[in-house]
Structure 1
Amino acid sequence: MDTRYIYRARRRARGVVRPATIAIVAVVAVLASAAWFLIVRPHQEMVDAETGAHPSTPVTTSQAPPPPANVSAMSVNQLLSEARKAVNQQRLLAPAGNNAFEFYLKVLEKQPGNQVASDALRETFPVGASLAEQAINQRDFNDAQRQIDLLAKADPANYTLTILRSKLDAQRKLLDREQQLASDKEKQQQLAAQKAADKAEADRQTAEAQQKALADQRAAQARQAQQQQVTEAARQQQATGGATATASNASPSSAATHGPVLLRNVSPRYPTNAMRSNQEGWVEVTFTITPDGNVDDVKVLDAEPRHVFDRAAVEAVTRWKYQPATQDGAPVSAQEKRRIVFKLN
């Protein structure tokens, strides 16, 4: 065979293969690009959202960053970026104004057909519902209501919202009942304390009244005993005076001389402290009976117990009144000594 023919045939075959190879490479490149933009990239975004949003994945978060300024002026891509950050930091529904749900909802306001935001809201809805339920269980009712409202904007027909609203209402009613019971219990405790205080005051007043009545009774008994003593002393003085009068009949020179005669006595006041402590005792005094029948210069000679009844005895004796002693018919001063007994019974 002619070698020149073979060479020309090979050159023609290589010329045909080269355009086919280029075309195949171009098709593969176009398919790879389409797969990246239509499959790989959306899938990676969803994986990122799932990784950051699932509650079972423990993620240590610091304090939430401040919300971006002028959210309304942000583009769709900026809002999606902020939403992904919020999901990764577990800011799905909170804090208000800086959470993934609000960013995704803002994306749908700007671009109602955005598939990334719609898919993210649909896939994270169960997690958001769980977070709202946690807020209800923690009795953060205001934030729970806000989170339920966000969930309702994402999927208003979802039956989970009915369950969450029912739980929120039940927890609110339960809290109201608990607060009412606590208030009633506090009022009952205050009423019981007031009744106890009133009873204690009434008991104190009754005890004071009984003590006063007993003290008055003992004082009356003491006055009666003192009166009896004074009466007995006066009787003795009168008997002494009668004997003197009889002697004067026999001896005219002694008729004008006699000792002092008690005309009026004053019972001593029983000291209050002694009465309360049930103390009894006596005081022996000496005093001068002046020519006009008054008592002067009263002095305590002895007492038992000392310094308890002294003052009361001196005050009482000072107020006594005598018929003065006489000598040859003329009034004269006289000295007298008496024992004043203080006895309760």
Structure 2
Amino acid sequence: MAESRIHSPAGDSAIDHYLALREHTPDDTGVAAALAELSPYMVIAAEQAIGQGDVYEADRLLELLWRMDAGMPALPRLRGTLQALHQARQAEMERAARAPQLTAAPTLAADSKRAAAATPVRVAALPPSVPRAAPDTGVASAPSAPTRTTPVPPPIPRLITDAVPQYPLSALRRGIEGRVRVAFTIEPDGSVSAPRLVSASPAGVFDEAAMAAAKRWRFEPGATAVSTSRVLDFYLPEG
């Protein structure tokens, strides 16, 4: 728990090792008790992965939950929510694939209608390279202000390795939910640096778990560093 390795990394987490132990010693009551104690954490992690749209992580966690207890009451609900997420993703991909076919060039008739409805033609301003002649008033004109361009912020790289924060045991026992916003910088190599707390509700409950998770996020490499933020929601398992 101190290293946030209850269910990750895949294949080398506490859940993976307990499941391997159970295969060798199926009657070990200590292993069974440990898996039962970790079940709420797994349900919370699966709900958070689904809420964040991480279908791959959600699939992995639900597979672990099924191996832990195939009759777990939360499994049908989680599977239904994940199935809906998969269907929404599939529909989105199909719409994106059809989009180029549905986009057609405007017809001549449409062009003529727009031309007829257009506002009266106005004289365009002279290009910046050609100075406009000013009337001679005998008074020197003030220099024009330089044109300012608004810099376009770099795009946010795609998240390729997520890390679901560990639900604090004290908050779990007290039935507390919350939300934390973490600001951070995505370095050109995709790593996260300078994570900092922006807001937390309630204060001081989920801060440490959110910061620990942020340090393990990895993004696609980019040409420059990008500053951004992310909201982490902490929900108790239903049922």
Report the TM-score range of the alignment, normalised by the length of the smaller protein: 0.3 to 0.5
Structure showing greater radius of gyration is 1
TM-score scaled by length of structure 2: 0.42
TM-score scaled by length of structure 1: 0.30
Identify which of structures 1 and 2 has the higher relative contact order when contacts are C-alpha pairs closer than 8 Å and 6+ apart.
Answer: 2
